[in-house]
């Protein structure tokens, strides 16, 4: 899932994802930059970011950041991730009831 948020859209000509989609005939539907985060991975990223902010020591290099992100990812219980995926149908229904407006976290 991709939305139109500029943080998620790579504009360079070397965008390998865009090239792959084009080569395979996949057309993206346009989404506003403030569309609700319906992808379960967004909740995982939020959890990782919160955990990183709670650390006493912040990363000072890309390698340290990668290591810390992987550590926090490993701490996320698989049951929690499974539950996110299982609740997708519910959240789609809530989104439709709200006519596309924000959903509670």
Predicted pLDDT at 65: 96
Sign of dihedral through CA atoms 3, 70, 48, 12?
negative
Question: What is the tens place of the pLDDT at every residue in 52-72?
Answer: 999 999 999 999 999 999 999
User: Please, what is the average pLDDT of the chain?
Assistant: 82
- Rounded Cα distance, 48 and 7, in Å: 17
Predicted pLDDT at 73: 98
Please state the pTM of the whole predicted model: 0.62
pLDDT band at 45 (very low <50, low <70, confident <90, very high): very high
Q: Where are the domains of the chain?
A: 1-35, 38-105
Predicted pLDDT at 81: 95
Residue 105 reports pLDDT greater than 80: no
- C-alpha closest to that of 65 among 77, 78, 79, 55: 55
Predicted pLDDT at 89: 86
């Amino acid at each position: 899932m991709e939305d139109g948020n500029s943080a998620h859209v790579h504009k360079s000509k070397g965008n390998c994802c865009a090239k792959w989609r084009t080569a395979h005939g996949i057309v993206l539907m346009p989404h506003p930059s403030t569309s609700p985060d319906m992808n379960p991975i967004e909740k995982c990223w939020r959890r990782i970011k919160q955990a990183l902010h709670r650390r006493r020591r912040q990363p000072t290099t890309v390698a340290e950041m990668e290591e810390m992100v992987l550590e926090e990812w490993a701490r996320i219980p698989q049951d929690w991730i499974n539950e996110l995926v299982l609740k997708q149908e519910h959240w789609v229904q809530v989104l439709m009831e709200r006519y596309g407006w924000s959903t509670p976290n």
